[in-house]
Amino acid sequence: MNNSIVIDFAYKLEFTTIEITEFISKNWLRQTLLSNNSFYEWQFKQPVDNDSLDYSILVISENKIVGFLGLNKRTFFLNSGKLNGAELTTWIINEEYRKKGLAKPMLQFIQNNFDVAYGANITIDALKVYLRLGFYFIKEIDRVFKILSFEKIKKIGIVEPTIRKIFKNTPIEKASYKLIDYNSVVINKKFYSGFDRSIEHLEWRYKKHPYYEYKFLEVSNETESTYIVFRTENINEEIKVMIVTDVFTSCGKSFDLSGIEKYAINNNIDLIEFYSTSSFHISNFVLNGYINAKDLKDFVDIPYLYNPLENKIAKSYSLIYFGKNEYIDKLINYNNLYITKSDCDLDRPNNFYLEKMGIKLWNY
């Protein structure tokens, strides 16, 4: 690698947000909100652990940006211990500098500065580099969903008759739910090993999101409460999906989700979906009558990208992750960790969705 190359956190280098977003817009293959200055500030400066500093990684050559890797600092809890964690997103290297040995030192920079790091939905080319540097790969995060309107959902996917018979919906009489403020969420941290989900983080992630509107739903019975964070999205102006991004419970045992289904029915929602590595969470959804897409992929095939609707071969999200030697034996047993699709991915709106909502934000 050329000795004139500098790799460091963005806040330590003399480049403005405008200069970084201009690099992203010129070097990314498609329009992305990361090239919008205000969204960039929200994603990389406003997160709780960043303390208003930009921890994205920049590669500098001849006083210009030639590489970028989006990164947020985020505390990671592992067996009640606190680790220095990082969420990774959007890796870009200028075309002239590709295959010149920049990828390896960029990843080594992460390994030298963090105890654990995760990234979502990695390309095959990038995966090869991650694997060579000792990262691990999860091909599919468990995706569970409940179909509330089979007639509508079969228009966008394949649902075998067997699925319709087994997972048909039954009336819900005693289910209880109410919309609440995020400050009312009670998180029992001893049941979670994964990224920080403090009230401060929930406020930044969901209440201050620039474009999506998230809601907090409390589902309860006589002895426990479960909290659901979700947003809704329309497909083709006909189908309405509830996208669950976080689930918290005040206990460590099985929880009742019937209230979320009742809310969905009362609000004309046709499909509910959730992604997580946690076997505790996924098993509870399955016990509540949800379909596990990974296990039943031979019987049901529903796209997971809605705006625009894309019927890709892969119907779930993948993860890469790294952990220092003293932690990797616990991290590799990822079923015991609570990591969701919203970690790293953040449900970032694309150009199609923004135009559909009548929003034009690009600053290039």
Tell me the CATH number at 249.
3.40.630
Summarize the confidence of residues 228-257 as an average pLDDT: 86
Is residue 189, in this structure, part of any structural domain at all?
yes
* Residue 203: DSSP 8-state: I
Task: Give the separation between CA 215 and CA 54, rounded to whole angstroms.
Answer: 28
Q: Within this chain, do residues 291 and 147 fall inside the same structural domain, yes or no? A: yes
Is residue 363, in this structure, part of any structural domain at all?
no
Q: Has residue 158 got a pLDDT over 70?
A: yes
With a pLDDT cut of 70, the percent of the chain lying above it is 92
Q: Within this chain, do residues 209 and 288 fall inside the same structural domain, yes or no? A: yes
Among residues 122, 139, 156, which one ends one of the domains? 139
**pLDDT at position 99:** 87
Summarize the confidence of residues 151-166 as an average pLDDT: 91
Q: Has residue 22 got a pLDDT over 50?
A: yes
* Domain membership of residue 253 as a residue range: 142-316
**C-beta of residue 140 within 8 angstroms of C-beta of residue 319:** no
Is residue 288, in this structure, part of any structural domain at all?
yes
Q: Within this chain, do residues 67 and 166 fall inside the same structural domain, yes or no? A: no
Among candidate residues 297, 309, 139, the one with its CA nearest the CA of residue 241: 309
Q: Has residue 189 got a pLDDT over 70?
A: no
Q: Has residue 112 got a pLDDT over 70?
A: yes
Q: Within this chain, do residues 62 and 163 fall inside the same structural domain, yes or no? A: no
Q: Has residue 265 got a pLDDT over 90?
A: yes
Summarize the confidence of residues 215-232 as an average pLDDT: 87
Is residue 88, in this structure, part of any structural domain at all?
yes
Q: Has residue 307 got a pLDDT over 80?
A: no
**C-beta of residue 52 within 8 angstroms of C-beta of residue 46:** yes
Q: Has residue 253 got a pLDDT over 70?
A: no
Q: Within this chain, do residues 41 and 114 fall inside the same structural domain, yes or no? A: yes
**C-beta of residue 189 within 8 angstroms of C-beta of residue 77:** yes
Q: Within this chain, do residues 78 and 219 fall inside the same structural domain, yes or no? A: no
Q: Has residue 242 got a pLDDT over 50?
A: yes
Among residues 139, 168, 199, which one ends one of the domains? 139
Lowest mean pLDDT of 47-51, 114-118, 165-169, 177-181, name the range.
Answer: 165-169
Q: Within this chain, do residues 173 and 211 fall inside the same structural domain, yes or no? A: yes
Domain harbouring 91, CATH code: 3.40.630.30
Instruction: Domain count for the chain, please give it.
Output: 2
Q: Within this chain, do residues 93 and 184 fall inside the same structural domain, yes or no? A: no
Q: Within this chain, do residues 104 and 124 fall inside the same structural domain, yes or no? A: yes
Summarize the confidence of residues 121-129 as an average pLDDT: 87
Summarize the confidence of residues 283-296 as an average pLDDT: 92
Lowest mean pLDDT of 18-32, 42-56, 239-253, name the range.
Answer: 239-253
Helix, strand, coil tally for the chain in percent (to 5): 30, 30, 40
What is the value of pTM for the model shown?
0.92
Torsion angle, alpha carbons of 86, 226, 210, 114, to 10: 0
* Residue 280: DSSP 8-state: H
Is residue 339, in this structure, part of any structural domain at all?
no
Among candidate residues 293, 291, 235, 285, the one with its CA nearest the CA of residue 260: 285
Summarize the confidence of residues 236-256 as an average pLDDT: 84
Among residues 107, 139, 171, which one ends one of the domains? 139
Is residue 337, in this structure, part of any structural domain at all?
no
Q: Which residue has the higher pLDDT, 351 or 110?
A: 110
Q: Within this chain, do residues 254 and 159 fall inside the same structural domain, yes or no? A: yes
Task: Give the separation between CA 71 and CA 47, rounded to whole angstroms.
Answer: 11
Q: Has residue 363 got a pLDDT over 50?
A: no
Is residue 352, in this structure, part of any structural domain at all?
no
Summarize the confidence of residues 214-223 as an average pLDDT: 85
Q: Which residue has the higher pLDDT, 204 or 175?
A: 204
Q: Has residue 156 got a pLDDT over 50?
A: yes
Q: Within this chain, do residues 234 and 312 fall inside the same structural domain, yes or no? A: yes
Is residue 347, in this structure, part of any structural domain at all?
no
Q: Within this chain, do residues 42 and 24 fall inside the same structural domain, yes or no? A: yes
Mean of the per-residue pLDDT values of the chain: 89
